[in-house]
Amino acid sequence: MASKYDLIVIGGGPGGYVSAIRGAQEGFKVALVDARGLGGTCLNRGCIPTKSILHMANLYRAMLNADEMGIIANDVGYDMAKIHAQKDEVVGKLRDGVAGLLKANGVDVFVGKGSIPAPGKVKVTSNEGEQVLEGARILLAVGAVPMIPPIPGIDLPGVITSDALLEGTPREIKHLLIIGGGVIGVEVASIYASLGVRVTVIEAADRLLPLLDVEIGRSIAMLLEKRGATVHTGTVVKEITQAGDLLAVEGYSQKTGDGIIEVDTVLLAIGRLPYLEGIMREGMELKTNRGILVDEQFRTNIPGVYAIGDCVSGTPQLAHVAHAQAVSAVCMMAGKQSGIDLSLIPSCIYTEPEIASVGLSADAAKKKGYSVKTSKYVMSSHSKSMLEGLDRGFVKLVFDEQTEMLLGAQLMCGRATDLIGELTAAIVTGATASQLAHLIHPHPSFSEGIGEAVENFFGRAIHIAPQKSARSRRGEDMPRH
């Protein structure tokens, strides 16, 4: 392998390997340095493992209730070791695919920890020793690690992070307490509630998923509780102590005061912090503020050093954001523009039903001075939702009432994570309600909910009772055949 490169990427996650491949496509000689497995957190310890287990947990729950659909399934159970083995098989195949793509594009891959000992140089440290690479450009895509809160007892056995939960031998859990009601916490709660494990979620904010639309947070809490989970919002954890074979979690609730819950496992799910340990030698300090500070071309304060993805200050920690930033950064290195709109980022949560949002919520749009009009369709009365036995759900669209332009969308329904792409495109192109009303959606499909919500903007949705109807005032929309 060569030792001099046009671009050296440190980190092999969605930002790193995409940067390396796009760099090779632009004609750069590229090296990629990775220490924890190609695909990064998303593939090995995050998105893919979680969604794999979620799929199987949802299948198990569906089988338990299959008799309602006329299917008789006796002695339904699950084997957590096999569920994890299936997850590992999927991860392994995808990781091999990334390795194959890097090789096909002529990217040199170095296994080891990458650091920058001097400008234009990257040191690779592995079990086999050290070697130094030279690069005209160095791109940091080093990702993030679970945040560990300063709670007494946080280091006790049985207190784990999502990394530990998803890697290695699966744990036998009888009562799981999750600290944090964000995306990770809600998805893990969905998994274990579906598997029949006792689940308690503690969130400091007044609702789950506090960064999303209020209705989404309240709806997912109701669904989790319907599936057996307990949700405590407005609650903080004060201390964790050993109580025999269990852990005693002491918390304070704004509603009920102090309380103690005894569990066997505590999951820390309060967020992730950029992983910057040992990246730069002493004397070469990156400017940071809860992550690396970069300019509009992803350049750091150190000449020749760039950064993208979860390690960058203010960046939403999402794989598709890292991917988009990777393409944009390398294009700019090559003197081009990617054309990607980095200001509009869809957010997806893979519960059942799925949750997705993009653009502005109604409250955020009002704060920006828009004359806001929301339009909603309740999906629980929709045929595809009924066919698949899904619970609560809706499509909510946020428009500027004066121009009719779509400003944002919040979905909680089947295939929401797929549907959000249509609405992202609509916002990027400045589509109006009148223009969206021209589209025909296939029947039966979840996408019909978008059409109904658009038509409701004009008060002429076919499957929503007129506003003067008492049934409509109670939110009882007509079934969508």
From the number of C-beta atoms within 10 Å of its C-beta (0-12, 13-18, 19+), residue 162 rates as buried
By residue count, the chain amounts to 481
DSSP secondary structure string for all residues of 188-253: HHHHHHHTT-EEEEEESSSSSSTTS-HHHHHHHHHHHHHTT-EEEESEEEEEEEEETTEEEEEEEE
Residue 404 backbone dihedrals phi, psi, to 5 degrees:
70, 5
Residue 176, beta-bridge partner list: 199, 265
SS3 312: strand
Q: What distances in angstroms separate CA 368 from CA 78, 301, 364, 456, 460, one per listed residue?
A: 49, 32, 6, 24, 28
DSSP assignment of 360-416 equals: --HHHHHHTT--EEEEEEEGGGBHHHHHTT--S-EEEEEEETTT-BEEEEEEEETTH
> What is d(CA 248, CA 235) in angstroms, rounded to the nearest whole number?
15
322 close to 15: Cβ distance less than 8 angstroms: yes
Contacts 24+ apart (CB under 8 A), 339-344: 341/428, 344/424, 344/427, 344/428
Tell me if residue 443 is catalytic: yes
Radius of gyration, alpha carbons of the chain: 24
What CA–CA distances, in Å, run from 438 to 331, 418, 434, 441, 447? Answer: 36, 20, 7, 10, 14
235 - beta bridge partners?
Answer: 253
Q: Which entry of 232, 443, 463, 481 is annotated as an active-site residue? A: 443
Number of H helices and E strands in the chain, helices first, is 14, 22
Alpha carbon distance 6, 27 (integer Å): 9
Written as six digits, the tokens of 406 are 């779509």
Active site residues: 443
